[in-house]
Structure 1
Amino acid sequence: MEFLRTPDERFADLPGYDFKPHYLQVDDSEGGELRLHYLDEGPATADPVLLLHGEPSWSYLYRKMIPILVATGHRVIAPDLIGFGRSDKPTRGEDYSYQRHVDWMRSVLEQLDLRRITLVCQDWGGLIGLRLVAEHPERFARVVAANTMLPTGDHAPGAAFEKWQKFSQEVPVFPAGGVIKGGTVTPLPQAVVDAYDAPYPDERYKAGARQFPLLVPTRPDDPAAPANRAAWAVLANWGKPFLTAFSDSDPVTAGGDTLMQKLIPGTLGQDHTTIVGAGHFLQEDKGEELAGVVLRFIAATS
């Protein structure tokens, strides 16, 4: 599999992101390997909090939350999905599939032998993370779902997503930082917008970012639909603690929290939260508040 690797100097002196990089090698399923980047902060012996980002962000999205979680004694693992951040970037859109993304993150769980995980997932972090929860329930202690979903293609995705999908394929220059800016309520400094663009020196690096919107199951016959339906069958019996922490200003995932609360038994009795004054990328708008929600949830369910 052909891939590009973003030069390290692109990640120098990014505002608020002073973390040591760590790397794993994952199988590219074509006889080769890809380098996957992750952050690993806090005590190595503590139960892990796994922070999974989505599209088109990277672990930079969690920079406000990581120090707060670490300060209370938690180990925090924040990977960059393949195609994003400091991870390798296959150059062809067809190199990316939903299943490959799940398999690459599964490799992280296995290589680091993560157990008693608190999953915090947003956007595609949920599409991938909730699959892993369903397929490896023994590794997870609890889940925080924030502005995410697990679609099976059995329901129309909605106008906002269809507009985003069309934009992602037709825009001549895919504006990763601009997408983050457009999905937040608070104004972002240009240096922060630039940090979201840092992984992508030019359009050749953006195949994964462009492909992700096409991988969301929007039809019942989507290749990922059977696996996602199987995941829902597990989640429908998931009794471990499950918290929703959606924002009040995200047209793409609005209502997903209500659906999860209706279908997942582990949501019963939890202190579900609506974070006010936040858009789709609520970690950027209200990262400190979301970190507090996660900490209270862990404390209440430990």
Structure 2
Amino acid sequence: MDVLRTPDERFEGLADWPYLPHYTAVADADGTALRIHHVDEGPKDQRPILLMHGEPSWAYLYRKVIADLSARGRRAIAPDLVGFGRSDKPAKRSDYTYERHVAWMSEWLVRNDLKDIVLFCQDWGGLIGLRLVAAFPERFSAVVVSNTGLPVGSGKSEGFEAWLNFSQNVPELPIGFILNGGTARDLSDAERAAYEAPFPDETYKEGARIFPALVPITPEHASVAENKAAWAVLETFDKPFITAFSDADAITRGGEAVFQSRVPGARTAAHTTLKGGHFVQEDSPGEIAALLDGLVASLTQKEIAE
């Protein structure tokens, strides 16, 4: 497997991005070494709040959430998925599969030995993050899902179909344009440039390009069986499980209902609706940070009471 690595200078001077990089080496099944980047801000003795991004963003999506949480004395950890951000980028589109992504992030999670995790996941951050919850339920204390799902081949929304067609047919994948189109507010030129930073040219975008086609929307897609097995675990997950979908996302609208009905921990949770588009982290970062801060506080109070 050939691997590309975005030059460090591409990440210098980005708007609202003062965070130091941390790296973890993982190994693909074929033996290829891959470097996964993450941000780790706030007191290291605090419960980790794991912030998982999706397509075609990177940890930069959480920059304001990270700043808010760390100011509240919370620990925020935001990794870049393989193919995104400062993480390594396999060069061929065929190098990326759903199961490989799960395996890469599973090894990352174990190598960093994260425990008592509060997960916030959106888009592919949910498709992969929820598989981590299913694989390591003992490592997670609570989950917040936003604008995401765990599909098992049962179809797609009109919004997703439009996105799939666009992503697979546009000659050049316009990362900044996509992020701006998925937010309720207009991103600044500097913010758009930061989203473009990980991709010096189109050769670096193979992971971003293939992601929409990997979503298991038909019974014939790979990973349908694995996601069904993950659902079987989630249907026993009785820890806090909160839905925080946005009010203006055409791709995932209504997707919270399946979590609220099937996950035991969601049946008594205080769910919320956030203001914003698909990339709700850009539209409601303060609300997300406050939700996560309150969730961690409630977990701590419960533990003290017990």
Q: Which category describes the TM-score, using the shorter chain as reference length?
A: over 0.9
The runs of at least 4 aligned residues of structure 1 exceeding 4 Å deviation read: none
Query: Which amino acid in structure 1 is aligned with residue 285 of structure 2?
Result: G
- Counterpart for residue 288 of structure 1: 286
Residue type at the aligned position of 2:199? Y
Report the counterpart of residue 103 of structure 2 in structure 1. Answer: 103
> What is the CA–CA distance in structure 1 between the aligned matches of 2:125 and 2:238, rounded to whole Å?
21
Segment drifting more, 38-47 vs 118-127? 38-47
Alpha-carbon shift at residue 298 of structure 1 (Å) = 2.2
How many pairs does the alignment contain? 300
Partner deviation per Cα, 1:90-140 (whole Å, 9 max, x = no partner)? 111110000111111111111110000000100000000001101110000
Give the match's secondary structure for 1:201: coil
TM-score (norm 1): 0.97
Q: Deviations over 1:130-175 (max 9, x none)?
A: 011011100000001011100011x211111111111111101101
Equivalent residues in 2 for 1:113-132, closer than 5 Å: 113-132=113-132
Deviations 1:202-237 (A, max 9, x none): 000000000100110011132200110011111111
Partner of 2:237: 238
Match of 1:252 in 2: 251
Matched residue, 1:265 = 264
Is 214-223 or 132-141 further displaced after alignment? 214-223
Gaps of 5+ in 2: 301-306
Q: 2 CA distance for matches of 1:270 and 1:34? A: 38
Partner of 1:215: 214
Q: Distance in 2 between matches of 1:219 and 1:275?
A: 29
Structure-2-length-normalised TM-score: 0.96
Displacement of 1:284 in angstroms is 0.7
Q: Distance in 1 between matches of 2:27 and 2:74?
A: 29
The DSSP-based 3-state class of the residue aligned with 2:76 is: strand
Aligned partners of 2:49 and 2:75 also within 8 Å: yes
Deviations along 1:42-101, whole A, 9 cap, x unmatched?
122211111100000000000000021112222211100000000111111110000111
Counterparts of 2:25 and 2:278, CA distance in 1: 31
* SS, match of residue 284 in structure 2: helix
User: Hey, what's the Cα distance between the residues in 2 that align with 1:43 and 1:95?
Assistant: 36
Structure 1 residue 299, shift from structure 2 partner: 1.9
Contact 2:74 2:293 in 1 (8 A): no
Do the aligned residues in 1 keep the contact of 2:21 with 2:37 (CA within 8 Å)? Answer: yes
Distance in 2 (CA, whole Å) between partners of 1:27 and 1:215 is: 21
Aligned ranges 1:75-154 → 2 under 5 Å: 75-153=75-153
Structure 1's unaligned 5+ residue stretches are none
SS in 1 for 2:64: coil
Aligned to 2:169: 170
